[in-house]
Structure 1
Amino acid sequence: MKYHHLVLLCFALISIFCTKSAYSKVTVLNQAGEPIKRTIHFTVKKSLQLKCESDEIGNITWEKGGKSVEKLDELKGRYELKDNKTILIFKNLKDSDVGNYTCAVNNNGNKIAHYTVSLHTATSSKWGVRVSKNSNVVEGEKLTIKCEIRGDLTLNWLYKNTTSGDNYTTIPDEKGRVKLKDYYDEERKVNVTGGLLIIEEVDMGDRGEYICIGKSADGQQYNMTSTVRIKDKYAALWPFLGICAEVFVLCAIIFIYEKKRNKTELEESDTDQSPEQKNTPDHGKETNLRHRQ
């Protein structure tokens, strides 16, 4: 019986421990004390307060894009940490404050729990992803399309060849010519995974529509299309050759016309003599004979 009670006690302790671990969490509250699911919108030049609550015991730290807010130069003088850093207050908010902010609980140097919220401005809430609507590139050159995002989004790319009329295909394709690379967003201080679409040497088959699709954790989806036009690398040569041909033809016409005109004038000068001019020497001889007589 003693062992039986001991086993039950062990199961009870394990159950309590597991229950605590299952329900231990970090919650971020807004200024009204309401939990923030994932996203909060703010107004520029206003203030904002975030509060971190956790079932775990440890030191609270606030990060933006993986970097401590205390080490960000753009936030210097515009934020305040209160109540053992559980409260983060923003002052004189700017557009550059958009980004992902994480409340983390640390114990003995280890991050044991965390929660991330995305801050957006009132205007940035109108879009999630953004690319240039039109991209023009010369055949053989490098094509780069950058997909900007707002919020914590997972990116995917689709492509459709508008000439052939094929359906949309996922990028990168099997040929491996199209590559997706990450880039660092200087404004929001975050890495954007797969945000750059790169083709080293484009050809005519690469023209079409490229769609950047961003999907959030709560199921919201954003997309924007960039239409790519490929120019023939000899496109600038054809007009030049056409102009040269026109100049050559014009010069040839002028040369032929002038040659014919000079020939006609020469012939007219040889045949155009009046009868008076031809008899003038005979009258002179007759006059001289009369004087001699």
Structure 2
Amino acid sequence: MARASFCLPLALAYLFLASVVPSYAQNEETDQPELLYDVRANFTLRCELPNDNSLAYVWTKNDTNVVDIWDLKDRYKLEHGGAEFIVPRSVEDDFGNYTCGLSGTEAVQRWAVRGRAFTKLPANTNVVEGQKLKLQCKVVGKPYPRVVWTFSNASEGENASDVRALLGERVTLRRSAQGVEDGELLLDAVLRSDAGLYSCAAPVGAAGAANVATTTLRVKDMYAALWPFLGICAEVFVLCAIILVYEKRRTKPDLDDSDTDNHDQKKS
């Protein structure tokens, strides 16, 4: 009976903790909204904490006072008595977790500042059949997301599908030198059927549709460079044959005239 009376409060305590923890996580996520900014554009954080006593505003990035961050030195400005934090002409490394607080108080307002991801690919890519294909999806906007590759065979009018689903084990996706997950696409021994549209995209976020970059892959015949050479050789051969025939025809009358002169001299 004593054990039962001990277990009952313990069970109630577990139920209480289970009900509190999800609520705490949800509140913490709500208190830190995500702000997406475009690289090389301005972004502004507005502190909305009540400040009836005109206390000094304290701004931090990744738990460090912005005054002590070398990358932000002379690049940010404070407006409206310090309640607005403005970064003109932002850069990629401006992403991070920002907070606003009031000096001498524990009140804090948080933001998760992230750069909007833009992907880049060359407009056209050419490769010779049988050679290795290497495509790098460049991304502007940190933190770099894991990109998604799709392929569409334009000649057959297929809809874009995941490259792994269409090309199978022949395709390899790996981390690019820039640091983008799956940012590099490798394809060994390219086939003529691999020609088409290759796209890399940043994942869709709450701010709108994903940014997609596309390149048109053209696969050249492995003998494409040989045909012009053979054509040049054929032209040279025909030209030489024409010159040879012309020289023979021009030399024969000269020989005939020489024989006639010799015969007349013998008669005389």
Does TM, normalized by the shorter one, top 0.5? yes
Which of 231, 252, 269 is the aligned partner of 2:241? 252
Aligned residue for 1:180? 173
Structure showing the higher helix proportion among its residues: 2
Determine if contact 2:128/2:221 at 8 Å carries over to the other structure. Answer: yes
Q: Does the alignment pair 1:204 with 2:184? A: no
Query: Residue 194 of structure 1 aligns to a residue in which SS?
Result: coil
Aligned residue for 1:193? 181
Q: Letter of the aligned partner of 1:168 in structure 2? A: A
Q: Does the alignment pair 1:230 with 2:219? A: yes
Query: Residue 132 of structure 1 aligns to a residue in which SS?
Result: coil
| C-alpha distance 133-269 of structure 1, shift in aligned 2 (>3 A) | same
Q: TM-score, normalised by structure 1?
A: 0.60
| C-alpha distance 265-182 of structure 1, shift in aligned 2 (>3 A) | same
Which shifted more, 228-237 or 159-168?
A: 159-168
| C-alpha distance 13-117 of structure 1, shift in aligned 2 (>3 A) | same
How well do the aligned residues superpose, as a CA RMSD in angstroms?
4.5
Query: Residue 141 of structure 1 aligns to a residue in which SS?
Result: coil
Determine if contact 1:214/1:222 at 8 Å carries over to the other structure. Answer: yes
Query: Residue 180 of structure 2 aligns to a residue in which SS?
Result: strand
Unaligned runs of 5+ in 2: 50-58, 77-82, 100-109
Determine if contact 2:125/2:216 at 8 Å carries over to the other structure. Answer: yes
Q: Does the alignment pair 1:160 with 2:157? A: no
Query: Residue 175 of structure 1 aligns to a residue in which SS?
Result: helix
Q: TM-score, normalised by structure 2?
A: 0.65
- Post-superposition Cα deviations, 1:50-69, rounded to whole Å, max 9, x if no partner, equal 8799xxxxxx9845xxxxx9
Q: In 1, distance between residues paired with 2:169 and 2:189?
A: 12
> Bigger radius of gyration, 1 or 2?
1
- Equivalent residue pairs, number: 233
Q: Letter of the aligned partner of 1:212 in structure 2? A: C
Q: In 1, distance between residues paired with 2:224 and 2:134?
A: 21
Q: Does the alignment pair 1:40 with 2:37? A: yes
| C-alpha distance 202-154 of structure 1, shift in aligned 2 (>3 A) | same
Aligned residue for 1:261? 250
Q: Does the alignment pair 1:102 with 2:97? A: yes
Query: Residue 192 of structure 1 aligns to a residue in which SS?
Result: coil
Unaligned runs of 5+ in 1: 29-34, 54-59, 64-68, 81-86, 105-113, 121-126, 186-190, 282-293
